[in-house]
């Protein structure tokens, strides 16, 4: 039975509607982890460090997809809530076309400037060459990568989250199979891993164009549209928090890499890479829930159904709280086996990774509230508050902590800084949610 945005949502219905988005985000993260597994175990420690060193730069360029996906989805959902389906189609089409064009421009920029940027960040010698080789192959697929992230939000808004999951699974399986073939069988090394990832992004970004480009069973379809600067500005403003989150996280990751090279050399960068792979999988559950629930929140806010909006917030906070505790317990339990899978071939690197894992896993207690809180305000159309939460969480608190804490606790201070930043952001998020109750009637 199809669940509509206009339905009443109890815990069960809410989880059923958001589950495809949760699985979709987790699966996307897992195939990134598989990529790292093959590079680390079949290509080597330095190439693995190179991938994790250049990845933040690549994520910055692809972040426009998050901006139009989340900001645009909220605007489309609110428009559907008012009953104007034709305008919703026009907005949907506009956001897809503009983000695809921006992806082409950003890909060209990245290919031209990746070497000097990698060198500026501190990559040298063989590691610099590997950063450039890997990055240029990935950048060829950047327009598709941008669309892939955008459609992850749009499928939920179109009331077809299961189809979005199917596309993500297809892309993930493509990456896993090609990783095994290109890296483990053909021994194409880092270029093979990059090619596998790029081709999987093409699958994830291009298949939805064929679905939405023709008559379909969803509530959205790609059509002829017209330029609407106001709508673009509103989507960009509303999605600025997600753009800020991804850019900030990438910038902070670069800073972490600089600090890790200083305190632990290439081993520190490799250990951080393992932690970030696992971190992406765990946070994907929070992100997936937030992406899946945002259209529902936006619809009921647009329809002025404030009782349902209040109910959605209460249920969401309960679900996020349960997820948070479960993830901390799971992370502590899996610290050793995960470290063994990625870097078990190097005893000192294994010890460094396991120790870092057990410290930074406490960040999961706070991260869920921060991610959902930012998404909640985006869904309500308040991009400013959403962006402020993201800015403080992913940039201000993280930068301050990673610069100060290592002075007292060395390498452990770097792992502690992640926990400290998330806890401070949780306090800010709570204050905003309390302070905005009267305005949004939740």
> Region 111-135: what's the mean pLDDT?
92
CA distance to 34, 276, 279, 348, per residue, from 29 (Å):
9, 10, 9, 26
Distance CA 246, CA 242 (A): 6
Question: For 200-226, how does the pLDDT look when each residue is reduced to its tens digit (9 = 90+)?
Answer: 999 999 999 999 999 998 999 999 999
* Residue 437: Cβ-neighbour burial (10 angstroms; 0-12, 13-18, 19+): exposed
Report helix, strand or coil for 326: helix
In DSSP notation, 283-308 reads HHHHHHHHHHHHHHHHHHHHTT-HHH
Q: With contact defined as beta carbons under 8 Å apart, do 294 and 22 qualify?
A: no
3-state SS, 4-34, equals CCCCCCCHHHHHHHHHHHHHHHHHHHHHHHH
What is the biggest distance separating any 2 CA atoms in the chain, rounded to whole angstroms?
Answer: 61
Quote the tokens at residue 1. Answer: 């039975």
> Region 141-158: what's the mean pLDDT?
91
What pLDDT does residue 3 have? Answer: 83
Q: With contact defined as beta carbons under 8 Å apart, do 115 and 72 qualify?
A: no
Question: For 268-312, how does the pLDDT look when each residue is reduced to its tens digit (9 = 90+)?
Answer: 877 887 888 788 888 999 999 998 899 999 899 988 999 999 999
Helix 45-62 to helix 142-157 angle (10° resolution) is: 60
What pLDDT does residue 198 have? Answer: 95
Please work out, in degrees rounded to the nearest 5, the angle formed at the alpha carbon of residue 234 by the alpha carbons of 233 and 236.
65
Helix (H) or strand (E) holding 401: helix 397-409
Asked whether residue 186 carries a pLDDT value surpassing 90, the answer given is yes
What pLDDT does residue 273 have? Answer: 79
Q: How many CA atoms lie within 13 A of 283 on its CB side?
A: 19
Distance CA 231, CA 91 (A): 7
Q: With contact defined as beta carbons under 8 Å apart, do 209 and 151 qualify?
A: no
Residue 350's contacts (CB-CB under 8 Å, 6 or more residues apart) are 339, 340, 343, 344
Question: For 349-366, how does the pLDDT look when each residue is reduced to its tens digit (9 = 90+)?
Answer: 888 889 998 998 999 999
């Amino acid at each position: 039975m199809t669940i509509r945005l206009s339905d009443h949502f109890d815990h069960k219905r809410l989880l059923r509607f958001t589950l495809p988005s949760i699985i979709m985000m987790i699966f996307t993260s897992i195939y990134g982890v598989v990529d790292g597994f093959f590079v680390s175990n079949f290509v080597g420690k330095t190439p693995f460090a190179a991938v994790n060193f250049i990845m933040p730069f690549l994520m910055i360029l692809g972040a426009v997809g998050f901006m139009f996906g989340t900001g645009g989805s909220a605007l489309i959902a609110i428009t559907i809530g008012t009953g104007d389906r034709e305008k919703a189609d026009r907005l949907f089409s506009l956001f897809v076309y503009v983000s695809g064009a921006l992806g082409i421009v950003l890909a060209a920029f990245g290919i031209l400037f990746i070497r000097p940027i990698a060198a500026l960040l501190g990559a040298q010698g063989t590691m610099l060459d590997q950063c450039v080789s890997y990055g240029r192959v990935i950048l060829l697929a950047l327009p598709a990568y941008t669309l892939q992230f955008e459609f992850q939000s749009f499928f939920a808004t179109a009331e077809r989250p299961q189809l979005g999951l199917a596309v993500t699974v297809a892309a993930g399986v493509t990456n896993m199979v090609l990783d095994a073939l290109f890296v483990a069988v053909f021994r194409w090394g880092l270029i093979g891993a990059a090619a596998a990832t790029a081709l999987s992004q093409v699958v994830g970004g291009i298949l939805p164009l064929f679905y939405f480009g023709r008559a379909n069973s969803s509530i959205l379809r790609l059509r002829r549209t017209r330029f609407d600067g106001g709508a673009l500005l509103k989507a960009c403003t509303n999605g600025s928090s997600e753009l800020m989150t991804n850019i900030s996280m990438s910038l902070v990751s670069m800073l972490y890499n600089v600090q890790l090279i200083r305190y632990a050399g290439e081993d520190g960068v490799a250990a951080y890479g393992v932690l970030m792979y696992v971190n992406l999988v765990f946070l994907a559950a929070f992100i997936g829930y937030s992406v899946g629930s945002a259209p529902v929140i936006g619809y009921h806010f647009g329809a002025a159904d404030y009782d349902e909006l209040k109910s959605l917030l209460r249920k969401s906070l309960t679900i996020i709280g349960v997820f948070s505790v479960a993830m901390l317990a799971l992370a502590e339990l899996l610290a050793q086996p995960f470290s063994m899978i990625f870097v078990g071939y190097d005893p000192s690197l294994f010890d460094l990774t396991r120790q870092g894992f057990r410290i930074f896993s406490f960040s999961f207690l706070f991260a869920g509230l921060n991610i959902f809180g930012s998404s909640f305000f985006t869904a309500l159309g308040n991009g400013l508050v959403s962006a402020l939460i993201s800015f403080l969480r992913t940039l201000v608190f993280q930068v301050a902590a990673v610069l100060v804490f290592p002075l007292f606790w060395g390498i452990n201070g770097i792992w502690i800084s992640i926990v400290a930043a998330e806890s401070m952001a949780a306090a800010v998020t709570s204050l905003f949610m309390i302070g905005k109750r009267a305005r949004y009637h939740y």
